[in-house]
Amino acid sequence: DARVTQTPRDKVTEMGQEVTMRCQPILGHNTVFWYRQTMMQGLELLAYFRNRAPLDDSGMPKDRFSAEMPDATLATLKIQPSEPRDSAVYFCASGFSGNTEAFFGQGTRLTVV
């Protein structure tokens, strides 16, 4: 049963610490998305990759967030330094390019205290 896998599922960290979230997309998918979900803002697109190349990261605070795809089986989202306002559920999703359905992982619930 193919699925997007995200780790960790939950993360509690102190303000100022570095946080790394990982995502394993579904094998064969060439597009990977990072979304953030909060009560206030809803689901926001942070960045996405096509064939491992970053295509759009305009939704990310550039000074503290970075997203990479070291290889086709791993996408990472890093926050350094973390702040309480970064507390949210971060979803990774994968799919094929060209307006097709995206499959979401179970998310990483991040709490920054």
Partner 1 sequence: QQPVQSPQAVILREGEDAVINCSSSKALYSVHWYRQKHGEAPVFLMILLKGGEQKGHDKISASFNEKKQQSSLYLTASQLSYSGTYFCGTSGGGADGLTFGKGTHLIIQP
Residue ranges that bind partner 1, judged by CB under 8 A = 31, 33, 35, 42-45, 48, 50, 55-56, 59, 91, 95, 97-107
In this complex, which beta carbon is closest to partner 1, that of residue 87 or of residue 106? 106
Quote the least distance from Cβ 39 to partner 1, whole Å.
10
Quote the least distance from Cβ 100 to partner 1, whole Å.
7
Place of tokens 């997309």: 25
In this complex, which beta carbon is closest to partner 1, that of residue 81 or of residue 109? 109
Q: Specify the DSSP class assigned to residue 25.
A: P
Q: Integer distance in angstroms from the first to the last C-alpha of the chain?
A: 36
Quote the least distance from Cβ 6 to partner 1, whole Å.
9
Q: Give the C-alpha separation, 103 to 112, whole Å.
A: 27
Strand order of the β-sheet with 5-7 is 5-7, 19-24, 74-79, 65-71
In this complex, which beta carbon is closest to partner 1, that of residue 82 or of residue 95? 95
